Amino acid sequence: MLKLSERLLLTASFVRQGAVLADVGTDHAYIPAFLIKNAVISKAYACDINEGPLQNAAKTLESENIDGVSLILSDGLKNVSKSDISDVLIAGMGGELIARIISDCDWCEDKQLNFILQPMTKADYLRKFLYKNGYEIIKESIAAEGEKLYTVMLVRYSAVKQDISEAFALLGAPAEDDMFKLKKEREIKRLKKVRDGLLMSSTNKEEIKQIELLISELEVY
């Protein structure tokens, strides 16, 4: 029986009941397989840029006896036509790559589509890209696996293009839960380390001032 990690479980939980899913960078196709097994969806496109992961995906589908998943060799969504897709999931990649995949997609500016995005790095870059390009984060949650925290975002196209603050780019919308508080504490600690390093080595007072300003913003965020 398929058992997902906390990160993948949280990511999968953002997919709508009855969705037709495009899982980009599917690797073993664990998410489509899990969602079909649990009767959340009945149809998915499992996409990957490499043959090896698609072979892994085929093995999962065969061993779990799952129908309804089409395997597509594709860089992002380039070889994937929109057809009946309702939810696009991109997990386990860097924020810059996720942004590039959305930017290269010629059918993604659609207000009906749900995007479930789980960046492993550069979440701040991804948030800035999304808002600059008319996308909006509807909700965000954090999964913990040991010491590691993973952000999952539900995103829709809104056509409203805007710049966001550095604090919002780093943390997303403020929340009351413990995971958010932990993420905020870690971000502040990281920035203080950067500032201390600069204080020792740099004469760029303006850069140090900017970081201190951001730390103060985050402390009351």
For CA atoms 77, 79, 82, 88, the dihedral sign is negative
State yes or no: residue 93 binds ligand SAM (CB under 6 A).
yes
How far apart are alpha carbons 117 and 155 in whole angstroms? 7
Per CB under 6 A, which region of 44-52, 62-70, 155-163, 177-185 contacts ligand SAM? 44-52
Q: How far is the CB of 202 from ligand SAM (least distance, A)?
A: 35
| Cα-only R_g, the chain | 19
Residue closer to ligand SAM (CB basis): 76 or 172: 76
State yes or no: residue 76 binds ligand SAM (CB under 6 A).
yes
What stretch of H or E contains 141? strand 135-145
How far apart are alpha carbons 82 and 20 in whole angstroms? 10
What stretch of H or E contains 9? helix 6-13
- Binding residue for ligand SAM, selected from 4, 40, 49, 215, defined by CB under 6 A: 49
Binding mask 12-31 for ligand SAM (x = CB under 6 A): ------------xxxx----
Q: How far is the CB of 197 from ligand SAM (least distance, A)?
A: 30
Please state the φ and ψ torsions of residue 6, each to the nearest 5 degrees: -55, -40
State yes or no: residue 48 binds ligand SAM (CB under 6 A).
yes
Given the rule CB under 6 A, which residues bind ligand SAM?
A: 8, 24-27, 47-50, 53, 75-76, 91-93, 97, 101
